[in-house]
């Protein structure tokens, strides 16, 4: 299908490269947000802020900053969906995939799944935000008028 957008063709290399790219956007964005908020709160930066469940504490300033970084990263991820995935129908798939891969990474890092309800609630909120804003941006792009070249016919 030369020159056209891959609409219904099964293309595993494209899907895998989009998943890898979205995961990179997820972690780069999260790392940058955590670095900025850690700089503002005066906390030291470490991988624990990204992967450790115990860092997500509402009662501590650093915990609230990490939670804010996850929420801000949902907005960054929605921009990634808009630029990389570019399809409204696939936003939920790629959002959930990025979060499941992050959950697997956290499980490996901690050695157990989280038991805190706040962690699960935060993930639900970030999945919702990332998917809804990504769908909104993709839908606005998909709904734009397609320019059609017309030639004037003199009669």
pLDDT tens readout for residues 124-134? 999 999 999 99
Q: Which of 12, 59, 50, 3 is nearest to 31 (CA)?
A: 50
Name the band, by pLDDT with cuts 50, 70 and 90, for residue 2. Answer: very low
Give tens-digit pLDDT for 11-60.
899 999 999 999 999 999 999 999 999 898 888 888 888 999 888 888 88
- Angle formed at CA 136 by CA 133 and CA 137, multiple of 5 degrees: 90
Domain that holds residue 93: 12-142
What is the number of structural domains in the chain? 1
Q: What is the pLDDT of residue 104?
A: 96
Does residue 7 fall inside a structural domain?
Answer: no
The answer to whether residue 73 sits within a structural domain is yes
- 17 within some domain: yes
């Amino acid at each position: 299908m030369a020159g056209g957008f891959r609409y219904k063709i099964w293309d595993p290399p494209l899907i895998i490269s989009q998943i890898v790219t979205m995961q990179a956007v997820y972690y780069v964005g999260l790392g940058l947000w955590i670095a900025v908020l850690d700089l503002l709160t005066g906390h030291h930066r470490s991988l624990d802020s990204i992967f450790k469940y115990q860092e997500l504490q509402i009662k501590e300033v650093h915990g609230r900053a990490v939670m804010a970084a996850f929420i801000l990263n949902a907005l960054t991820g929605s921009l990634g969906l808009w630029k990389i995935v570019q399809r409204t129908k696939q936003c939920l798939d790629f959002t959930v995939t990025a979060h499941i891969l992050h959950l697997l990474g956290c499980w490996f890092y901690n050695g157990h799944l989280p038991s805190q309800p706040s962690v699960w609630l935060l993930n639900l909120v970030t999945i919702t935000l990332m998917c809804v804003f990504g769908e909104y941006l993709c839908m606005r792009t998909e709904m734009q008028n397609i320019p059609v070249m017309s030639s004037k016919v003199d009669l």
